[in-house]
Structure 1
Amino acid sequence: MDVSLKFCGAAGTVTGSCYMVKTAGHRFLVDCGMFQGTKTIRSLNYNSFPFDPAEIDFVLLTHAHIDHSGLLPKLFKEGFKGPVYMTEPTKDLLAAMLPDSAHIQEMDVMHLNRRNARRGKPEIEPIYTQQDAEACQLDFVSVDYEEWLDLDGIRVKFWNAGHILGSASIQIEVPTADPNEDSLRLLWSGDLGPNHKLFHPDPDASTDYDYVISESTYGGRTRPVVTSEEKRDILLKEIKAALKNDGMLLIPAFAVERTQELLADILILQQTGQLRNVPIFLDSPLAIKATEVFKKHAGELEDVAGHLDHINTGHIRFTQTVEESKSINRIKSGAIIMAGSGMCDAGRIRHHIKNRMWNTNTTLLLVGYQAEGSLGRLLLEGARKVRIQGEEITIRGKVRQIETYSGHADENELVDWITSRKPIRHGLYLCHGEEEAAKALKAALIAEGMPEKLISIPSIDDEVRLSRKGKPDYFENIPHRLKPQDLGGWDAHNEFAELQIDLKEAFDKLADEKARRALARRIKRALEKA
């Protein structure tokens, strides 16, 4: 029996996790995530799926992060009518996260349509609405870790991936036509957490697979092993440096788990006298709701009670409404503001960047992965001017990054997890990573003795035939929505935004009107020849 696997997202790039499996009698997805990063990559969210949603029987969801779950409402909106299986904590988190995602899209589209109206451009619609996000959840089904689920002969088991609350690696067994032949055994890593992560056991799964599909986010990058005290000390040094001379500290917040860890550690530092009591603003309605989900599932997590007790103290100012968020602008110095989103591409953090990063006394502290082309990545790489919602912003503040709070396994931990799944008989696919990261992880695995012929790095929309006999083979002449070179680095929109900034600077530097007119004429002539 032929089984095929199509890499519909998170292949050659980090976001948009989505994989379609076709068997003789079924079509199903593992994840259905939103694309983040450059405008070119994000445009895939608005385009058609590379399959007919009405033909999908069910979806298996690894975890709640939007780059894995964020297109589920669109999937239902465009014809999917099946169940979506996930752990109970993932289901609870999505009750807050999907409506929040829809709200952000609706607000962004509203602002864009205002600009489009002034430019004479047609209006666009959001990918989905809050109503769509609420409606799709009626078909969400919760499952337990390490319990077999039988879906019309296809067996599924969820393993704790140690990444965020409810995250899972997913084992799938597809029966063959021959009753004497073993089932085809597949394993999706999902996103893997680092070893010894707060709240979670180390990621786990069983062994002996035909094919493994693994993330590669931090291929080529390792982090020192630090204790909880050492991690807090690293954070303390960054906070003290940022708040020196009454500075302001902005922290883009990954609403689920990263926020809760950071808040707990900041409050511990204050309560132990290592950090003076400064105002802390949690300007993220989603993070506030996610904290309530953590409280509900505290019994399922490791060493969590004391940390949640700290978060429950009155030292944090929670801002739910837009008016409350705007009121933070009155705070001019000596405070910490945590706001979504973690890559600075959406949510309230963009407004705080616009309002504050022109000031040399402001620090932006990045505490998680920044996808290529995202605003966070541009700032991390030293951009001194950026465009946010069509407005040019000068960056004079400091941009810092710490990786000790990362929710992803580093290269050594990825190698350990993958090699612990052996034997991997026919194929290992390295996904959910930028090209260089996937190549680095491949090299590290080969150095550990894994045969090179087993390891593939697929690109988006590649499709492969899976078999228990012989080597898998890629389908030829498959249409690809984007070329591999479009998945990495800046896209044309980034280049054009930078060109606009450079042109304005060039005009401003010229001595007089005559020189400016001459430059304008040269540019026009160049455009005529283009």
Structure 2
Amino acid sequence: MAGLTLTSLGGAGTVTGSKHLLQWGDDRILIDCGLFQGQKNLRELNWKPLPIEASSIDAVVLTHAHLDHCGYLPRLIREGFTGPIISTEATRDVAELILKDSAWLQEKDAAFLNRIKKTKHSPALPLYDSRDAQRAIDAFITYPFDQPFQTSNGATVRFRRAGHILGAAAVDIQWGNRQVVFSGDLGKYDDPVMFDPEPVREADYVVIESTYGDRLHNISDASGTLAKVIEETTRRGGTVLIPSFAVGRAQTLLYYLWNLRRTGRLPDVPIYLDSPMAINASGLLNAHPHDHRLDPRTSQAVGKVATYTRHPEDSKRISRSNEPKIVISASGMATGGRILHHLKAFGPDRRHTILLVGFQAAGTRGRALLEGAQDIKIHGDWIPINAEVANLPGLSAHADAAGLMKWLSGFRQTPEKVFIVHGEAQAAETLRSRIDRNLSWEATVPQQNQVCKL
């Protein structure tokens, strides 16, 4: 019988497009099924066929429901996948929000390109549509954390808490005589909202993310730093504009703002959560009370700290308003969504602050802002950036290099090999070197579509 192999169809050498294929003979399990984001050459990969037939995949197992881990699912179904999509219950609920929103944006973008006749293809088509998204949602089956279950092709799978966002899991797969553990995206330890990543004690092979594999978060007083940025900006009559991932980051931000207001450290200015998806995701905290640290009373209080703006007209009024305020809006890397309209409104004015609070992938507007861009292109126009740009990585939902090493140290025995994925080249290589130096484990950074025998 053929042995087990691992092939990263995405998420190798980049932080986006996570798709890791386990294959035993003719049986196949895909761990995560994400969209490529950021640089154009990566985004174009979403339109290229996978190197395997979608119909040949028996099941997809999701670590969590961020777009770079689940956003390709509707396309996979359009291409012929008919198996189950397996996740935790909260991941399924978050994925419903993410996939419906992604399909709507795909349809909207295609319609816009056709309307202005700026498309290389006539007509421009969405990568997938709302029907594809609904078919993906209908294909989900869920299992609790720490309850082993079997797939149809004989693998035993267990979800273990990974922190990061609601429902996020490390995936422990035993197949044949091999045990492979996928970290998914690991959250920070001692996060005020999410539980710590749960240790995994045994594995023959480990597949670990490396988003922040080359840096450490300064989290000594993230709350205090946030308060300082807000105070300085509002004192000069400005708006604090925070591009935020709608799921995970937005809810953590609301917690910090609630805590600052509760303790009297927040200026008396309005707070707006201007993202329908973030609003819906915030409601999921109450729907899944056992998946986070907040007690019901605190969870409800956190949800009330901001004014929710669902309707486009309300969002436009925020952009037109000259009053000092705090605006949390998606997307987190400024690749689309309402944040773009706010950047056009507030970016040119020195009174305002653009506060970056999460990872910014190469090729995104967020990365350009982080690197000091004088102007950024939005809706075909170059927008000058005179606003202050501040960075607060301590609010990231990802473990830093020390956190990744802490999670790896939970294994009682040395794995045969560690595969380092979901990181840009420098981050992945730095983590590989750290694993070699500190643990003396064999670690490698696989290339996309490289077949690795286990």
Instruction: Normalising by structure 2, report the TM-score.
Output: 0.96
Contact 2:273 2:308 in 1 (8 A): yes
Matched, 1:200 2:194: yes
Structure-2 residue corresponding to 1:428: 418
Moved more, 399-408 or 261-270: 261-270
Structure-1 residue corresponding to 2:376: 386
Matched, 1:13 2:14: yes
Moved more, 342-351 or 324-333: 324-333
Counting aligned pairs with the same residue, the percent is: 37
Structure-1 residue corresponding to 2:296: 305
Contact 1:154 1:172 in 2 (8 A): yes
Give the ranges of 4+ consecutive aligned residues of structure 1 lying more than 6 Å apart after TM superposition: none
2:321 to 331, 335, 341: 331
User: Could you tell me how far apart the structure 1 residues matched to 2:8 and 2:352 are?
Assistant: 41
Matched, 1:243 2:234: yes
- What SS does the aligned partner of 1:448 have? helix
User: Could you tell me how far apart the structure 2 residues matched to 1:118 and 1:38 are?
Assistant: 20
Structure-2 residue corresponding to 1:267: 258
Contact 2:231 2:267 in 1 (8 A): no
Structure 1 counterpart of 2:137, one-letter code: Q
Moved more, 277-286 or 99-108: 99-108
Moved more, 40-49 or 7-16: 40-49
Contact 1:212 1:424 in 2 (8 A): no
User: Could you tell me how far apart the structure 1 residues matched to 2:299 and 2:92 are?
Assistant: 21
Moved more, 127-136 or 78-87: 127-136
Structure 2 counterpart of 1:459, one-letter code: Q
Structure 2 counterpart of 1:319, one-letter code: T
Structure-2 residue corresponding to 1:53: 54
1:96 is displaced (CA, Å) by 1.4
1:310 is displaced (CA, Å) by 2.1
- What SS does the aligned partner of 1:22 have? strand
Structure-2 residue corresponding to 1:254: 245
Matched, 1:140 2:128: no
- What SS does the aligned partner of 2:453 have? strand
Q: Where in structure 2 are the equivalents of 1:389-404 lying within 5 Å?
A: 389-404=379-394
User: Could you tell me how far apart the structure 1 residues matched to 2:343 and 2:87 are?
Assistant: 35
Runs (5+) with no aligned partner, structure 1: 176-182, 467-530
Matched, 1:190 2:180: no
Structure-1 residue corresponding to 2:446: 458
Contact 1:268 1:310 in 2 (8 A): no
Structure 1 counterpart of 2:451, one-letter code: E
Contact 1:169 1:205 in 2 (8 A): no
Instruction: Normalising by structure 1, report the TM-score.
Output: 0.82
Task: Assess, with a 3 A threshold, how the Cα gap between structure 1 residues 355 and 24 changes in structure 2: closer, same or farther.
Answer: same
Deviation digits for residues 199-232 of structure 1 (CA, Å, limit 9, x no counterpart): 3332124323221110011112112453xxx332
Moved more, 395-404 or 321-330: 321-330
User: Could you tell me how far apart the structure 1 residues matched to 2:272 and 2:219 are?
Assistant: 30
1:82 is displaced (CA, Å) by 0.4
Q: Which structure is larger by alpha-carbon Rg, 1 or 2?
A: 1
Deviation digits for residues 441-475 of structure 1 (CA, Å, limit 9, x no counterpart): 11111221324xx2110122222122xxxxxxxxx
1:212 to 189, 206, 210: 206
Contact 1:219 1:440 in 2 (8 A): yes
Deviation digits for residues 82-140 of structure 1 (CA, Å, limit 9, x no counterpart): 0011000111111211101111222222223333x167863321111122212221110
Q: Where in structure 2 are the equivalents of 1:312-351 lying within 5 Å?
A: 312-313=303-304, 315-351=305-341
User: Could you tell me how far apart the structure 1 residues matched to 2:56 and 2:178 are?
Assistant: 22
- What SS does the aligned partner of 1:378 have? helix
Structure-2 residue corresponding to 1:484: none
Contact 1:195 1:203 in 2 (8 A): yes
User: Could you tell me how far apart the structure 2 residues matched to 1:370 and 1:306 are?
Assistant: 33
User: Could you tell me how far apart the structure 2 residues matched to 1:3 and 1:312 are?
Assistant: 46
RMSD: 1.6
Deviation digits for residues 326-375 of structure 1 (CA, Å, limit 9, x no counterpart): 22222113011111000111111011111220111121100000011111
Structure-2 residue corresponding to 1:413: 403
Runs (5+) with no aligned partner, structure 2: none
Structure-2 residue corresponding to 1:158: 159
Task: Assess, with a 3 A threshold, how the Cα gap between structure 1 residues 363 and 464 changes in structure 2: closer, same or farther.
Answer: same
- What SS does the aligned partner of 2:300 have? helix
1:306 is displaced (CA, Å) by 4.4
Matched, 1:369 2:397: no
Structure 1 counterpart of 2:134, one-letter code: E
User: Could you tell me how far apart the structure 1 residues matched to 2:144 and 2:206 are?
Assistant: 21
Task: Assess, with a 3 A threshold, how the Cα gap between structure 1 residues 75 and 158 changes in structure 2: closer, same or farther.
Answer: same
